[in-house]
Amino acid sequence: MNRALHPHQKAELADLAVAAMQERGLQPEFSPSALRQLEDIKAPGDESGPDIADLTHLLWCSIDNDDSRDLDQLSVSEVLPGGGVRLQVAIADVDALVKKNTPIDRHAEHNTTSVYTSARIFPMLPEKLSTNLTSLNPGEERLAMVTEMDFAPDGSLRHARIHRALVHNKAQLAYDAVSAWIDGQAPLPAAAAAVPGMGEHLRTQDSMAQQLRARRREHGALEFQTFQPRAVFEGEDVVDIRQQEQNRARQLIEELMVAANGVTARYLRSQRRASLQRVVRSPERWARIVEVAADRGGNLPPEPDSRALELFLAREHRRDPLRFPDLSLTIIKLMGRGEYVVEVPGGSKLGHFGLAVKDYSHSTAPNRRFPDLITQRLLKATLAGEHAPYSTAELQHLADQCTRQEDAANKVERRLRKSEAALLLESRIGEVFDGVVTGVAKGKTWVRIFSPPAEGLLMPLQPLQVGQRVRAKLQSTNVERGFIDFEQVG
């Protein structure tokens, strides 16, 4: 398709995103009743009382994507006598403004998650809330749920508690800038440098996070590297596609969130309260994972073993980093999707195979994930000694809904990434790219080109195998359907 004859732009991608939302049973717009409710919300939550501690003096900071405006969590650290560390994670108190069964809550319950595409974001909550009144924005005092965790010098958790508090974000930071500073490649970001002591706090958090990460990997936490390209716009035009890289700052936040989610799950269990758990079950297709490993010279045991799988993945990442994202995707598909389940008092613990943890309640992103808002309400009711806001039957229905709609949202995001790549490439018909074969099935061959990172269908010259390097000539694109077609050359 010749772009000069039929140019595509950001607005068209936004229209495709709306259509994809509707096709998957997601609501792209808020209802009139939700918008009327929004008009009546004028200010952040302002509750007070003896159960809400004033922690605004602490050096809280947020670390998120460069363009994130829905700030769900803050963190702060303190070195304890004897060499231990106290980590505190503050989570936005969304429930203070969004009550159960209100029109805004019903929209959130239907979609269950924010949906992120490059051309348009479909927030779970209206932006007036998610990026302002319920967001932990810098320079603002906000209500929060705080998880306080005291770790011993060896990284073991000695004590934890959850309570309500008032917090104040002293510095809004971004992953890449913080990571570059941690790695010694850039100065401390200006927002952190403006706060005396913030750099020391960040060093402590990073050190503790790496210790927690090492402990989880000892227990078999899996290290994947998935293919997640993201379009870059200049005005209405797609000018590039960049792969999101894992780095130390992302690891820092990931470890703090895994730890906080574990504390949440264990607290609700200790209080004999039903809860929503996020689980990835022990892989039913383990035999096929064993075969995939054997094809690459690996030797996995006949029964599911996350530690053995992690050692194999780590070896493959070192040996063949080019093909590791494709291996990661294969293993992820064979493991099966994550799902939400209800844990009832006295019930069994399924755990999260990929994270190598037995306790995992999503609780750290209530602005963008409905399971987290549900969990927040369960926590607040438990802390106050009140009846649970949801029955076990309600929780079971919501667990199924969240699993189903999260899957739909992921499909919308993948669908739009394909259209973004087609849009960027439509002016480059006839060019030849270096790539690697990523799939061969049912008479079709797929290729991933390296620059820009994009995937498409390949017409081969001869039979190819996954992992083979190829030269691929771009033949056609279809932005509306997200199709990219290549033919092998040379």
* Count of beta carbons in the 10 Å neighbourhood of residue 32: 9
pLDDT for the residue 228: 67
What are the structural domain ranges in the chain? 10-280+340-422, 286-336, 428-489
pLDDT for the residue 315: 85
Chain centroid to CA 458: how far? Answer: 31
pLDDT for the residue 318: 82
Query: What are the phi and psi torsion angles at 484 (to 5°)?
Result: -135, 125
pLDDT for the residue 1: 39
Closest CA to 58 of 188, 190, 209, 171: 171
Place of tokens 């029955």: 391
pLDDT for the residue 3: 41
pLDDT for the residue 222: 60
pLDDT tens per residue, range 56-67: 999 999 999 988
Assign domain 428-489 to a CATH class: mainly beta
pLDDT for the residue 259: 94
pLDDT for the residue 2: 40
Strand 157-174 versus strand 60-64 pairing type:
parallel
pLDDT for the residue 241: 79
Give the chain as a 3 state SS string.
CCCCCCCCCHHHHHHHHHHHHHHCCCCCCCCHHHHHHHHCCCCCCCCCCCCEEECCCCCEEEEECCCCCCCCEEEEEEECCCCCEEEEEEEECHHHCCCCCCHHHHHHHHHCECEECCCCEECCCCHHHHHHHCCCCECCEEEEEEEEEEECCCCCEEEEEEEEEEEEEEEEEEHHHHHHHHCCCCCCCHHHHCCCCHHHHHHHHHHHHHHHHHHHHHCCCCCCCCCCEEEEEECCEEEEEEECCCCHHHHHHHHHHHHHHHHHHHHHHHCCCCEEEEEECCCCCHHHHHHHHHHCCCCCCCCCCHHHHHHHHHHHHHHCCCCHHHHHHHHHHHHCCCEEEEECCCCCCCCECCCCECCCCCCCCCCCEHHHHHHHHHHHHHHCCCCCCCCHHHHHHHHHHHHHHHHHHHHHHHHHHHHHHHHHHCCCCCCEEEEEEEEEECCEEEEEECCCCEEEEEECCCCCCCCCEEEEEEEEEECCCCEEEEEEEC
Rounded to an integer, what distance in angstroms lies between the CA atom of residue 303 and that of residue 409? 32
**N- to C-terminal Cα distance for the chain?**
24
**Local mean pLDDT, 10-residue blocks, the chain (490 residues):** 51 94 98 98 94 97 93 97 96 98 98 94 97 97 98 95 98 97 97 98 97 79 63 78 83 94 92 89 76 87 82 83 74 76 78 54 92 97 97 96 95 92 92 89 90 92 86 96 94
pLDDT tens per residue, range 233-258: 777 777 887 777 779 999 999 999 99
pTM of the model: 0.87
